[in-house]
Amino acid sequence: MSVKKINSEDQAKEQASGPEPGHMLDVFPSEKLHHYDEPWLGPDIQEFKRNPACLSKGPLLKPTHDHTICVEATAVHEGKIIPYKSPKAKDVWSAEYVKMPFSNFSKYTKKTWHHLELTVNRWDIVVSALKKPCFETSKGLENAILQYNQKYAHVWKFSGFHKYLDQLQFGEQKSLLAIVLPKMAKLALQLPDLCAKPIPLLKRGKHHAVTMSQEQIACLLANAFFCTFPHRNSTQRNSEYSNFPDINFSRLFAIPSSKTFEKLKTIFCYFNTVTENMPKGLVTFQRCCLNDDIQWKRSPYKLTKLHITRKGTIEEQGGDMLQVDFAAAMVGGGVLGSGLVQEEIRFLINTELIVARLFTEKLEANECLVITGAQRYSEYTGYSDSYRWQRSYIEETPRDSWLRRCTEIVAIDAVNFRNPLDQYEAYFLERELKKAFCGFSHRVLPDRQPLTVATGNWGCGVYKGDVKLKALIQIMAAAQAQKDVVYFTFGDSALMKSIHEMHQFLQQKDFTVGRLYNLLEKYSKIDFGGSKARDLYQFIQNNGDSLKGRI
């Protein structure tokens, strides 16, 4: 079978129209539940390593060449958060930094009443539109946004937002229009004071971290909601930010669907929370690159412990572990579009994650994004079409010495397989192993805590990943990183039992990562007549002794 590379541009198009990264196969498939009564298999979850960051004092927060800190670092040592301010602060307008709405380089040409064209600072129009906003109806939001986005007046649609407002009760409408939106507008206009330090773009191949306050994030997200970010409304191939996710909320406003309604409920829950009681903490976003070549064939590492369960979720039961985000290469996937699966749900309930889309370029095959400190704001039920916002979430996770919530999330993107048979090829096997290892390993973050990996059916569903293969890949990557695994099958009891039995078999046969890799490579070379008709796990069990004696 020939090796084919996935067309990344086509994949990006699919993600932009509503990706389904890390689809959970079935949503709690009840027909499978009655086969097995066990809620979990393997060692008890209490035996696994949890986040100890809050129990000890970490290194002092200080800026370095690869870590930008958007607050006064010395104040954090005293438990205070003060936005970075300097009389020498520069108005940066370059390809290496976020182009801020308040920059003097952001110009806007408007027509006067006698048809003359006048060039003005765009921020002045933003201030005029949002300082005393008229949000008496949903049309008020549309009118305000289009004042400084006239180019899109006949392109952008706001039917999703209008219909969302229509289905609210009168009291809810009044509260949103008269209280919440004006508070959000006020927050957005604080941008020049709160975010004076230039925010670097986390570009491909660049190992860099950005730490900012939750108030700064809220301000940036309020600007994203009101669509103020310049040069971020086009994702065409030749556009300046074609390799970045969209950040302005215009696409979300256009979609009149139940998904949009539930997303907006979740987003407004966040803004209602932060405008009433702004959280006082920090969040770190770190792009990590793994440049080492891993010799998988000769890896001597033995498999680590595995707890597998059909109940619970990564963000709940795995909350104090290293939590895997089944990411799209454009982080956040379809969170501002029509997507509403694992990654999009995580970005909604931990709303601060959305700001990563402002400065994170598309992830490469050897990269991941690690987010430390993102707070959760919402409770929910369901998945995809059945997703429903429930209520606000009271976050009780303690903070570390940098005043970050002790929550570590890693975004790793799987390959979207047009032809599912490609995933068994050595090229893709190594790609997925390296991606997962990058997400799990201390090599990319030397000071990383030795946390258990909390994960699940990564890259399956519409990405067409073989869930049994993807489970093994993550188990192998975790073993290489010397981390245990807690695996959530999201209601699938048969899958829980199957993965557990395979893990037991491999441990009983004293498999190393290298020996398992060689067996998977052997499997990839077998011609099954156009399909992988033979079960992968059955093949491993039947051939488990064939490579005995080899690493």
66 has catalytic annotation: no
**CA dihedral of residues 76, 80, 84, 87 (deg, nearest 10):** -120
> 369 vs 89, 356, 385, CA distance in Å?
28, 9, 27
- The answer to whether residues 474 and 436 touch, using CB atoms and an 8 Å cutoff, is yes
What SS3 class is residue 488?
strand
User: DSSP class of residue 156?
Assistant: -
- Other C-beta atoms closer than 10 Å to the C-beta of 440 total 27
Q: Which candidate in 325, 352, 367, 466 is catalytic? A: 325
The region, left, alpha or beta by phi > 0 then psi within -120 to 50, assigned to residue 403 is left
Helix (H) or strand (E) holding 480: helix 467-480
Percent helix, strand, coil in the chain, to 5, is: 40, 15, 50
Q: Which candidate in 262, 315, 343, 422 is catalytic? A: 343
Rounded to the nearest 5 degrees, what angle is found at the Cα of 453, between the Cα atoms of 314 and 366? 110
Pairwise CA distance, residues 26 & 489, whole Å: 10
Residue 47, both tokens: 């035996």
Q: Which of 326, 358, 161 is nearest to 251 (CA)?
A: 161
447 has catalytic annotation: no
β-pair partners for 27: none
Q: Pairing mode, if any, of strands 408-413 and 367-372?
A: antiparallel
Report the half-sphere exposure of 503 (CA within 13 A, side-chain side).
28
325 has catalytic annotation: yes
Amino acid at 61: L
Q: Which of 235, 259, 425 is nearest to 335 (CA)?
A: 259
> 196 vs 208, 462, 511, CA distance in Å?
19, 42, 54
- Other C-beta atoms closer than 10 Å to the C-beta of 10 total 11
Q: Which of 374, 446, 378, 442 is nearest to 404 (CA)?
A: 374
Q: Which of 111, 489, 437, 114 is nearest to 293 (CA)?
A: 437
β-pair partners for 404: 282
User: DSSP class of residue 352?
Assistant: G
DSSP string, 444-467: SSTT---PPEEE-STT-GGG---H
Q: Which candidate in 315, 344, 361, 484 is catalytic? A: 344
Q: Is the dihedral of CA 256, 262, 267, 271 positive or negative?
A: positive
Residues forming the active site? 325, 343-344
